[in-house]
Structure 1
Amino acid sequence: MEAIYIMGILTAIIALGEILSITSKAKIPTLLVVIGTVFILLQTGVLPESYIEASTFVAAGSVLVPVLIVHLGTLIPLSVLKKQYKAVLITLIGLVISVVTMLTLITLIFDYNTAVAGAGPLTGGIIAYIVTAEGLTEAGFTTLAAIPVVVFALQNLVGMPLTSILLSKYAVTIRDDLSQNGAEESGESSDPMMSTKTKKLIFPDRIMQSDFFILFLLFIGGVAATWLGDVTGINYSLWSLAIGVTGSALRFYPDRALDKANSTGLAMVALIVVVISSLVGITWDQVVSSLLAVIVTIIIGTAGLMLGGLIGGKIFNWKPTKSIPVVLTALYGFPGDYLIVEEVSRSVGRNEEERKRIMDELVAPMLIGGFTSVTVGSIVVASILVGTL
């Protein structure tokens, strides 16, 4: 099948997810629909694995990942980023409590090796999954190798709906506060994100009118981040975020750079295709054979994350409906955290002013929480745990 037909199928599934998300007011996240639908189609043979592998968008999405993360850095002004230390600490509290809970309870129910097999992937994304799977194989625990695969595939089915429900409740309080206090007063709590001043860039305005030039600048950042990752051994996503934040602060990048280049939509589609490509190779047999351990791992691990979010929220005086979702980003990371905030703001906000206020207040802590857990915390957790096997 030609690539255009494959992408027609995949974009139809993504569009279905968007429609269900909009009609359900973000209670059914887009990625949940996409992942569930693609998994069923793969297992029934309706969508052969070779179709997704043949999609050129998988390669395109992989190339765009560092570019998108640089773009994310331009979403959050440095003044706001400095204020997000609470999101970082709350996320770390959640990770520690979740890991300790899993290592204790799952070891009692099954064994320590099973606990390790599930703990790494549950606290983060694909890199933690790869580290855990490779560690299990090298240690000779091949019978447990299916656990991290299935945990990685299914954990977002729990994390995303919980996040959407809790964030929607918190978004209502933002909306009501805006209605009661007025735009001017409520906007004072998020001045950096609400600022409408045009930032003077180091490049002439006439050049920055070019979508292609902005994309070129973003790709410079992506290339530099990838090179730095190879040279230093520090994951490229951290470099991408740092380059985006620093570049925005130094006025090298415009705010919301990818939006200014009118390229966000297509880039996000490519990234979603990369996400669903991770489902290739997962079989019903793998799911069935490891289902009990996976279910126990997800329940205990998620409960630990939520408990950590609750405790962290109490310490830093955050409402549970805000602190718990920030920690739950460990279950899905980027782009899920960004997409859910976007869906919630679009669904709960009754006008553009309310939607912008909700987006501005939630996007920074959610993205920082996701990067803290998926990009940093989970890799550290997985690397340490597999070393104990």
Structure 2
Amino acid sequence: MRWGIYMNPVTAFTIIMLIWTIGDFVAKKTKSLISSLLVAAIIFIVGFKTNLFPEDLLTSSSLLALGQTVIGMLIVHIGTMISIDELKKQWRTVLIGVSAILGIIVFLFTIGSFFLDQNFIISAIGAISGTTVAVIIIQEAALASGLVLVAVFAVLISAFQGLIGYPLTSVILRKEAQRVRGEYRAGTLKVKAPVEKEMSKEPRTILPQAFQTTAGTLFVVGAVVMLAGFIADMTNGILNQFVVALLLGILLRAFGILKPNILTGIDAYGLMMIGILLIIFGPLATSSVDDLIALIGPLCIAFAIGVTGSIAFSAVLGKLLGYSMAMSMAIGLTTLYGFPGTMILSQEAAKSAGENKDEIAAIEGEILPKMIVAGFSTVTILSVVVTSILAGFIH
């Protein structure tokens, strides 16, 4: 089919929405073992390489431009997800999360340097330790230097993260759940109150109601991104705009100016997220099949070394801080998926070990807060900061 004849913004938009629908369907059916990101990546690769999709599919849809426009807004939103009070309560978890990322960095820069070029090492560190934002930061630096394969490498790692992280964490958390159940039955576990999920609370903000509509919210968040850009410019780029936007999101939530999870619930959020996620697929359109095949080896090496480093560092520090080996390793593995996987896996582990509602609640109360903080806060903050620094060394 000659898409050039039929391709227009509406057609491109519709095709992309179909791809995302398929990805979401598969993710739901497999309980996120196979992520929607992986499904979308496979469809895009096959579509581009068989010429079923034209190279300009993403740009024709106008979604790519949307994603590039609102990426800063997403980062402010991520900042408003983070509770400083919860970080203080879970300071040991925070330190273990930090050690996990340090493990990824140390192992890949030492052991990984025997197998991978420095640019691929940096790409792997950013993708394994972080979220879509970290991948976008890597991509911008790589593409600016003409390193398309380095950008593609980050995409592939991001696509396969969940496939590796979910099964490993599931096995480890189920073992931890059984240990916690043993403590509960022995009467040595201090039962915690049910976890209050931050997103279920009534959002609080000192902003007038006029700024809490969809348009008002986007205006406020956009203004924060503009402020972040101004601050970054004032430092001549020493402070990355994304890092400043993240910190502003955290601080403005802490002072009650921005409500928690500020973009959640507004009419445009879902479309904004799809636009942002599409950014990472851009380099797939121009890479050859041979290039993609050549990346299989480095991909396996990066995962093997990076994940091992994460587990090793988190296990050692966790043991020193009084956490069990299994809990520490699970915290380290949150770099591979983050929220909501951290919540889903914790709940599944509690249900697998607990034989009644009280046991399930006790197990979940012990595991879930640690996993939420590890994947929802620590990794989010540090990965963006670390990736922003390391991306400057891509050349």
Same fold, judged at TM 0.5 (above) = yes
Q: How far does the alpha carbon of each residue in 1:17-54 deviate from its partner, in whole angstroms, 9 at most, with x for none? A: 11111111121111111112212211111112211132
Q: How far does the alpha carbon of each residue in 1:190-219 deviate from its partner, in whole angstroms, 9 at most, with x for none? A: 45x459764653234x43553322222222
CA 1:66–1:348 in structure 2 vs 1: closer, same or farther (change >3 Å)? farther
Cα distance in 1 for partners of 2:97, 2:370 equals: 17
Structure 1 counterpart SS, 2:281: helix
Task: Give the percent of matched residue pairs that are identical in Structure 1 and Structure 2.
Answer: 20
Q: How far does the alpha carbon of each residue in 1:299-350 deviate from its partner, in whole angstroms, 9 at most, with x for none? A: 223322332333343334446666446545656xxxx634645775898899
2:216 equivalent to 1:225: no
Whether the aligned pair in 1 keeps the contact of 2:139 and 2:151 (CA below 8 Å) is: yes
* Counterpart in the other structure of 1:9: 15
Shift of 1:57: 0.8
Please give the residue correspondences for 1:309-388 in structure 2 after superposition, counting only pairs within 5 Å.
309-318=314-323, 323-324=328-329, 326-328=331-333, 337-338=338-339, 340-341=341-342, 362-381=371-390, 383=392
Cα distance in 2 for partners of 1:13, 1:175 equals: 39
Q: Structure 2: which amino acid aligns with 1:337?
A: G
Match of 2:137 among 127, 141, 144: 127
Q: Structure 2: which amino acid aligns with 1:123?
A: I
2:37 equivalent to 1:36: no
Match of 2:32 among 26, 45, 55: 26
* Counterpart in the other structure of 2:206: 202
CA 1:74–1:171 in structure 2 vs 1: closer, same or farther (change >3 Å)? farther
Please give the residue correspondences for 1:1-389 in structure 2 after superposition, counting only pairs within 5 Å.
1-83=7-89, 85-108=91-114, 110=115, 114-124=116-126, 125-128=135-138, 131=141, 148-168=150-170, 188=193, 190=195, 193-194=197-198, 198=202, 201-204=205-208, 206-207=209-210, 210-232=213-235, 233=237, 234-318=239-323, 323-324=328-329, 326-328=331-333, 337-338=338-339, 340-341=341-342, 362-381=371-390, 383=392
More helix per residue: 1 or 2? 1
Question: Could you tell which deviates more after superposition, 61-70 or 263-272?
Answer: 263-272
Q: Structure 2: which amino acid aligns with 1:26?
A: S
Whether the aligned pair in 1 keeps the contact of 2:35 and 2:159 (CA below 8 Å) is: no
Shift of 1:75: 2.1
Structure 1 counterpart SS, 2:263: helix
Structure 1 counterpart SS, 2:210: coil
Q: Structure 1: which amino acid aligns with 2:67?
A: G
Q: Structure 2: which amino acid aligns with 1:368?
A: S
Q: How far does the alpha carbon of each residue in 1:178-199 deviate from its partner, in whole angstroms, 9 at most, with x for none? A: 9x99xxx9663745x4597646
Structure 1 counterpart SS, 2:111: helix
Structure 2 counterpart SS, 1:259: coil
Whether the aligned pair in 2 keeps the contact of 1:166 and 1:322 (CA below 8 Å) is: no
CA 1:245–1:19 in structure 2 vs 1: closer, same or farther (change >3 Å)? same
In structure 1, the gaps of 5 or more residues are 138-144
Question: Could you tell which deviates more after superposition, 288-297 or 36-45?
Answer: 288-297
Q: Structure 1: which amino acid aligns with 2:376?
A: L
Q: How far does the alpha carbon of each residue in 1:209-257 deviate from its partner, in whole angstroms, 9 at most, with x for none? A: 5332222222222222233233322122222222222212222122222
Whether the aligned pair in 2 keeps the contact of 1:149 and 1:282 (CA below 8 Å) is: no
Whether the aligned pair in 2 keeps the contact of 1:94 and 1:312 (CA below 8 Å) is: no
Whether the aligned pair in 2 keeps the contact of 1:190 and 1:361 (CA below 8 Å) is: no
CA RMSD of superposed structures (Å): 3.9
Question: Could you tell which deviates more after superposition, 275-284 or 319-328?
Answer: 319-328
Cα distance in 2 for partners of 1:378, 1:159 equals: 17
CA 1:349–1:18 in structure 2 vs 1: closer, same or farther (change >3 Å)? farther
Cα distance in 2 for partners of 1:53, 1:3 equals: 9
Q: Structure 1: which amino acid aligns with 2:137?
A: I
Q: Structure 1: which amino acid aligns with 2:154?
A: F
Q: How far does the alpha carbon of each residue in 1:131-161 deviate from its partner, in whole angstroms, 9 at most, with x for none? A: 46777x8xxxxxxx57634531322244222
Q: How far does the alpha carbon of each residue in 1:155-181 deviate from its partner, in whole angstroms, 9 at most, with x for none? A: 224422222234556777789989x99
Shift of 1:381: 4.2
Cα distance in 2 for partners of 1:277, 1:359 equals: 36
Aligned residue pairs, count: 362
Q: Structure 2: which amino acid aligns with 1:32?
A: L
